[in-house]
A = this chain, B = another copy of it.
Amino acid sequence: MRDEIQDELNRVSGSLVIMAKAVREGMRQASTALLAADHTLAQQVTVRDAEIDVLYRVIEDRVYDLVARRHPIDGDLRTVMTALQVAADLDRMGELAVHVARAALRRHPQTAVAPELTSLFRAMATVADELGAKIVAALADHDPVLAGQLDGDDDAMDELHRGLFSVMLSRDWPLGVEAAVDGALLGRYYERYADHAVNVGHHVLSLTTGRTAEPA
C-alpha cells in the first residue's frame, strides 16, 4: 500500500514538474512578446495557458483519486495536499503570463513598455525566468536549497518593482498617464508571479522538511 501511494505521489510530482516547465515557458514567451511587441508570440501564451489549465485538472483529478482510493495519512497526506497548493500557484503564474501577453497585444504594434522602462522590465523578465528555472529544478529534485533561494530572487524583484515606481513617479517622467498605468499593472503582474514562485518554494521546503522529519 505504502509503495503504491509512493508511486502515485511520484506521478503527481512528475506532472507538477511538467506544469512548472510550461509555466516558465509561458512567462518567457510573454516577456519576449512584451519587449519585442511580438503579436504571434503573445497569442501563443494563451494557447500555452490552456495546456497549463489541462495539467491543473489532471493533477487535481489524480490527487482526488489517490486520496479516495489509497487513504494516505500523515506525511503522505501533507504531500498530496501540498501538491494541490503548488498546482494552484502554478496555475495562477500561468494566468499572470497571459496578463503580460494581453498587455502586449493591447498596445500592438506599439510596445506596451515605455523606452524609459525597458531595462527595468528586461531585468524583471530575467528574474521571473530564474524563478521559473528554480521552481522547475526544486520540484524535480525536491531540492530545499534551490527552494530557499527563491526568497532572494523575490527580494530582487521587489527592488526592481520599487525602482519602477520611482522612475514613473519622478518629476521628470516624460511620458503620460497611459504609459505609467501600463507600467504599474505590468509591474504588479511580475511581482505577483514572483510571490507565487516563492509560495511554491515554501511548499517544496515544507515537503523536504517533512521528509527529513519522517524518513520513509
Q: Which residues of chain A have a CB within 8 Å of any CB of chain B?
A: 64, 67-68, 71, 73-74, 77-78, 81, 84-85, 88, 165, 168-169, 173, 176-178, 180-181, 183-185, 188
State the copy count for this chain.
Answer: 2
Partner of A67, one of B67, B88, B169, B180: B67
Q: Name the contact of A165 in the complex, choosing from B73, B169, B181 (C-beta under 8 A).
A: B181
Q: Are B181 and A169 in contact (CB under 8 A)?
A: yes
A69 — nearest CB in chain B belongs to which residue? B73
Q: Looking at the assembled complex, report how far the CB atom of A203 sits from the nearest CB atom of chain B, in whole angstroms.
A: 13
Cβ–Cβ < 8 Å partners of A74 in chain B: 68
Residues of A contacting B: mostly? helix
A81 and B78 in contact (CB under 8 A), knowing A168-B177, A181-B169, A184-B184?
Answer: no
- Of B68, B176, B178, the residue contacting A77 (CB under 8 A) is B68
Residues of B within 8 A of A169 (CB): 177-178, 181
Q: For the complex formed, measure the closest distance between the CB of A69 and the CB atoms of chain B, giving whole angstroms.
A: 8
A–B complex contacts, Cβ < 8 Å, 28 sampled: A64-B78, A64-B81, A67-B77, A68-B73, A68-B74, A68-B77, A81-B84, A88-B88, A165-B181, A168-B177, A168-B181, A169-B177, A169-B178, A169-B181, A173-B177, A176-B177, A177-B177, A177-B180, A180-B180, A180-B181, A181-B181, A181-B183, A181-B184, A184-B184, A184-B185, A185-B185, A185-B188, A188-B188
Bound together, the chains give a CA A68 to CA B71 distance in angstroms of: 7
Expressed in whole angstroms, the minimum distance between the Cβ of A2 and any Cβ of chain B is: 15
**Whole-angstrom CA separation of A202 from B112 in the bound complex:** 33
Residues from chain B with a CB closer than 8 A to the CB of A165 are 181
Return chain B residues, CB-CB under 8 Å to A67.
Answer: 67, 77, 81
The interface residues of chain B lying within 8 Å CB-to-CB of A68 are 73-74, 77
Residues of B within 8 A of A184 (CB): 181, 184-185
A81: chain B residues at CB < 8 Å are: 64, 67, 84
